[in-house]
């Protein structure tokens, strides 16, 4: 007998059926129906071994769900939610997400390919078929920073696909504004140039973007709707959207000229009387802001120890009238409760789908609330044929540009950093590429790049050339490289502002000839200990020629020091610099080991 061990339940692969685990979520209902391509599991309870509740969903094919007992006094509502999709309609090249989960066939815990709109459609439709009252919403960043398959077509295929999935509404995300508000409005309206849209079947977004806290800076009026109200199961449910207050810090200033962003909690709280006056009985907050969590995607206790970030602060200040908070922005998957109210997020790139299930009385009062993140595993589901065909049509329109070969590499590079280092292999590679390009064209001394602009790992398949599509997945913002001059003192202040405040890559990754150390006592702010250039202490009085991308040069990520840079010169696209560096320097990947940024 083969036994697959997880955390809490254990499942026997030789059994004929799968039973209920000791404490099923959603008021006793089974979360998934069986799929013929998943081996059936028998549940064996143990309290000594553990994996997250996701093991239940990915490894156990349950029998058809029982119909939930409904009474005249209760209504059950499933809210399916997505966030930070970033145009990842494709199933591979790049694979949207690789969460470490049990293999649905063998039970081995390993990285699993997840995401792709055709797989998302299958998971969503399967779950909808099991729920009487349901709705599908999103928490922003559905567009922008997208792989070439979507971005080359101005993310129009993504908007079309999400509309076909029946998305009711989405809060606005900061990346929806990457190309400016006029371009977003064009997309939502389905407007095309004289020659037609780049996606021939594009008709615009069939769902509204909601941004209660984005205003015209002059008139003070809202630019986009604040909410939509829908009758579900006899209750009027209001879905209220907000974008992160920090949008000016994380987006190019040129993209948001004339816009003002208010506090999320204050704005949503002020709307409660208006929503009640409109008859809304249930209020759902959808915000493109979130929390940071080092735990698993599902916490059956909802306690989520160590949960932190702005999302937590907002949740604590948000009016109790809101039944649930659907969050985004931090690219983390979690199911938590703050003061008894659900705060959920579905990770990123469509690799997870959150289901939040509310049991309500006839007045809209929450009686019970459960949530779970369903992994969209490609190995556990068949792709929906209609959405697979949509992706194929987008691929056919973009093949020539996406498949331009760059270099044959023997290894890849990760964008994650491992303590005690604040630099990542991929961050080092990108910064070195910036420097090489800057030396050729601007007599640069050093280079830096923001870690937030590195959106995917560099993955390598034996015998396959790395293509421009692979590089575009890493750097999808079409940023120019800017050479500018600052003093050593300004550089030191810049690095101090960018010191890591939590585990992971520092916000500024640096070229091989620039290094720094920092320290941080428990509960204190990080302290810059030393900075060296070419192995010598930084000269605070000397001028240095620095290469950065245009987002950072404009003061993005709150790095306003770079706005003071002198003698600016535009050097070309960041992705072209990376392609050139890889093609001309086969040993580039041997020179990127972490150690440039270290914690003492």
pLDDT at 45: 26
Average confidence (pLDDT) over 396-401: 95
pLDDT digits (tens, 9 = 90+) for 169-222: 999 999 999 999 999 999 999 999 888 899 999 999 999 999 999 999 999 999
Average confidence (pLDDT) over 414-422: 93
Q: In this model, does residue 563 exceed pLDDT 50?
A: yes
pLDDT at 196: 85
Residues 6+ apart with CB under 8 A from 334: 291, 293, 295, 297, 299, 304, 307, 343, 344, 345, 373
Question: 515 pLDDT band (50/70/90 cuts)?
Answer: very high
Q: In this model, does residue 36 exceed pLDDT 60?
A: no
Sign of the alpha-carbon torsion through 575, 290, 222, 218: negative
pTM assigned to the model? 0.84
Residues 6+ apart with CB under 8 A from 436: 577, 580, 581, 584, 585
Q: What's the Cα-to-Cα distance from 280 to each of 145, 166, 287, 550, 579, rounded to whole Å?
A: 35, 22, 18, 44, 53
Contact 101, 112 (CB under 8 A): yes
Q: In this model, does residue 42 exceed pLDDT 50?
A: no
Q: Average pLDDT, whole number, for the chain?
A: 88
Question: 103 pLDDT band (50/70/90 cuts)?
Answer: confident
Question: 7 pLDDT band (50/70/90 cuts)?
Answer: very low
Q: Which residue has the higher pLDDT, 521 or 547?
A: 547
pLDDT digits (tens, 9 = 90+) for 236-253: 999 999 999 999 999 988
H helices present in 7-114, as ranges: 54-59
Nearest Cα to 456, choosing from 301, 537, 599, 348? 348
Average confidence (pLDDT) over 52-80: 56
pLDDT at 522: 86
Domains and CATH numbers, the chain: 1-69 (no CATH), 81-393 (3.60.21.10), 404-599 (3.90.780.10)
pLDDT digits (tens, 9 = 90+) for 323-359: 999 999 999 999 999 999 999 999 999 999 999 999 9
Nearest Cα to 288, choosing from 268, 303, 273, 272? 268
What are phi and psi for residue 61, nearest 5 degrees? -85, 110
Average confidence (pLDDT) over 307-332: 98
Output DSSP code: residue 97: B
Nearest Cα to 250, choosing from 211, 306, 298, 289? 289
Question: 2 pLDDT band (50/70/90 cuts)?
Answer: very low
Average confidence (pLDDT) over 364-369: 98
Question: 71 pLDDT band (50/70/90 cuts)?
Answer: low
Gap between the Cα atoms of 495 and 515, Å rounded: 10
pLDDT digits (tens, 9 = 90+) for 442-490: 999 999 999 999 999 999 999 999 999 999 999 999 999 999 999 999 9
Gap between the Cα atoms of 19 and 28, Å rounded: 12
Residues 6+ apart with CB under 8 A from 331: 84, 347, 348
Buried b (16+ CB within 10 A) or exposed e, 52-76: bbbbbbbbbbbeebeebeeeeebbb
Contact 483, 578 (CB under 8 A): no
pLDDT at 107: 87
Average confidence (pLDDT) over 120-147: 97
């Amino acid at each position: 007998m083969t036994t697959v061990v997880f955390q809490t339940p254990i499942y026997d692969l030789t059994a004929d059926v799968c039973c209920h685990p000791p404490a099923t979520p959603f008021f006793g209902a089974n979360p998934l129906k069986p799929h013929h391509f998943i081996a059936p599991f028998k549940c064996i309870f143990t309290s000594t071994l553990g994996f997250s509740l996701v093991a239940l969903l990915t490894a156990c094919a349950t029998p058809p769900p029982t119909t939930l007992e409904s009474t005249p006094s209760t209504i059950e509502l499933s809210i399916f939610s997505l966030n930070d999709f970033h145009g990842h309609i494709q199933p591979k090249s790049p694979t949207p997400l690789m969460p470490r989960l049990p293999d649905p066939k063998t039970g081995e815990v390993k990285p699993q390919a997840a995401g792709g709109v055709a797989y998302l459609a299958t998971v969503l439709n399967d779950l909808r078929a099991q729920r009487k009252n349901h709705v599908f919403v999103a928490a922003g960043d559905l567009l922008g920073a997208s792989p070439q398959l979507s971005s080359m077509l101005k993310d129009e295929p993504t908007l079309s696909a999400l509309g076909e999935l029946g998305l009711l509404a989405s809060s606005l995300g900061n990346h929806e504004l990457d190309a400016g508000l006029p371009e977003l409005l064009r997309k939502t309206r389905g407007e095309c140039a004289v020659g037609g849209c780049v996606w021939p079947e594009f008709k615009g977004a069939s769902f509204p973007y909601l941004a209660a806290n984005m205003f015209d800076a002059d008139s003070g009026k809202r630019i986009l709707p604040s909410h939509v109200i829908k009758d579900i199961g006899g209750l009027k449910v209001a879905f209220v959207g907000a974008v992160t207050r920090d949008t000016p810090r994380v987006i190019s200033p040129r993209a948001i000229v004339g816009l003002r962003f208010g506090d999320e909690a204050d704005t949503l709280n002020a709307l409660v009387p208006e929503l009640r006056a409109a008859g809304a009985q249930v209020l759902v907050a959808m915000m493109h802001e979130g929390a940071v969590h080092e735990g698993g995607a599902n916490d059956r206790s909802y306690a989520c120890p160590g949960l932190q970030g702005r999302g937590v602060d907002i949740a604590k200040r948000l009016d109790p009238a809101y039944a649930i908070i659907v969050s985004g922005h931090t690219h983390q998957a979690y199911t938590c409760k703050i003061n008894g109210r659900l705060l959920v997020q579905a990770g990123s790139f469509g690799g997870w789908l959150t289901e939040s299930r509310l049991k309500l009385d006839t007045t809209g009062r929450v009686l019970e609330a459960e949530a779970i993140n369903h992994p969209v595993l490609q190995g556990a589901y068949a792709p929906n044929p209609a959405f697979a065909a949509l992706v194929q049509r987008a691929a056919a329109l973009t093949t020539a540009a996406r498949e331009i070969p760059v270099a044959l590499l023997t290894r890849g590079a990760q964008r994650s950093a491992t303590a005690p280092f604040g630099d990542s292999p991929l961050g080092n590679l990108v910064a070195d590429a910036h420097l090489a390009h800057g030396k050729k064209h601007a007599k640069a001394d050093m280079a830096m790049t923001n870690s937030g602009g590195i959106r995917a790992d560099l993955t390598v398949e034996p015998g396959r050339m790395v293509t421009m599509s692979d590089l575009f997945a890493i750097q999808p913002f079409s940023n120019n490289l800017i050479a500018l001059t600052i003093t050593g003192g300004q550089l030191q202040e810049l690095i101090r502002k960018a010191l890591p405040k939590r585990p992971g890559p520092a916000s500024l990754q640096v070229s091989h000839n620039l290094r720094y150390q920092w320290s941080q006592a428990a509960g204190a702010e990080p302290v810059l200990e030393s900075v060296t250039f070419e192995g010598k202490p930084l000269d605070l009085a000397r001028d240095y020629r620095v290469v950065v991308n245009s987002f950072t040069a404009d003061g993005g990520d709150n790095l306003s020091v770079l706005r003071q840079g002198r003698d600016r010169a535009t050097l070309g696209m960041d992705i072209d610099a990376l392609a050139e560096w890889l093609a001309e320097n086969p040993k580039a990947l041997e020179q990127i080991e972490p150690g440039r940024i270290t914690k003492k």
